[in-house]
Amino acid sequence: MDFDVVFDAPVGRLGIRLRGDALRTLRFLDRRVALRAPVSPAARKALQAIQHYFDRPAQLPAVELALEGTDFQRRVWAALREIPAGRVMTYGELAARLQTGARAVGNACRRNPVPLAVPCHRVVPAHGLGGFAGRTTGRLVEIKRRLLAREGVEIR
């Protein structure tokens, strides 16, 4: 995948892809992926918005989003953006709010193309931390833990 910018963030290496001026993809990358300076003013703006989030996690990145997904996924992603920093919601609670099932919410979270901008890390199971980005163990789950910790949430 070709990224418009690849940079190191407090939780690891991230890659950004844009569609025009809008954020299309934000991906957690392996450190073997080479850093890449922003290829355009729009990429520089998106980079700054994501970096600002790490300085002030109470504010979602101020960047236009180009979300590709089903109507249901977009509905879940919009609801995720309403969960305040420093708070978590369970899959079941979010499902009840959207009048759907917890597993469907989890699947929409797994398909989230722009974590941080759509803060799926703020959704957890009834007990524990749960998975992140389709993984239930490993580096990505540790990133979820670190993102929540930056917002003042500790889950064991």
Find the range with the poorest average confidence among 35-44, 50-59, 85-94, 107-116. Answer: 50-59
Do 137 and 75 sit in the same domain of this protein? yes
- Residue 134: inside a domain: yes
**CA 95-105-153 angle, 5° bins:** 85
Extract the tokens encoding 19.
Answer: 């569609």
Do 114 and 51 sit in the same domain of this protein? no
- Residue 66: inside a domain: no
pLDDT band at 155 (very low <50, low <70, confident <90, very high): confident
Give the residue-averaged pLDDT of 51-61.
Answer: 91
- In this predicted structure, the answer to whether residue 1 has a pLDDT above a threshold of 80 is no
Question: What pLDDT score does 106 carry?
Answer: 95
- Residue 61: inside a domain: no
**CA 142-98-86 angle, 5° bins:** 40
Do 83 and 137 sit in the same domain of this protein? yes
- Residue 63: inside a domain: no
Do 32 and 82 sit in the same domain of this protein? no
- Residue 91: inside a domain: yes
Query: Count of domains in the chain?
Result: 2
Provide the residue range defining the domain that includes 142: 71-150
Residues known to be catalytic: 120
Beta bridge partners of 28: 14
At 28-47, the pLDDT tens digits run 999 999 999 999 999 999 99
Do 80 and 145 sit in the same domain of this protein? yes
- Residue 62: inside a domain: no
Percentage of residues in the chain with pLDDT exceeding 70?
99
Distance CA 122, CA 41 (A): 30
Question: What pLDDT score does 98 carry?
Answer: 98
Provide the CATH number for the domain around residue 92.
1.10.10.10
Do 97 and 137 sit in the same domain of this protein? yes
Do 41 and 78 sit in the same domain of this protein? no
- Residue 130: inside a domain: yes
Question: DSSP labels for 57-125?
Answer: TTS-----B---S-HHHHHHHHHHTTSPTT--EEHHHHHHHHTS-HHHHHHHHHT-SSTTTS-GGGEE-
At 80-96, the pLDDT tens digits run 999 999 999 999 999 99
- In this predicted structure, the answer to whether residue 133 has a pLDDT above a threshold of 90 is no
Q: Which residue has the tokens 């398909």?
A: 111
pLDDT band at 120 (very low <50, low <70, confident <90, very high): very high
- Residue 65: inside a domain: no
pTM (predicted TM-score): 0.93
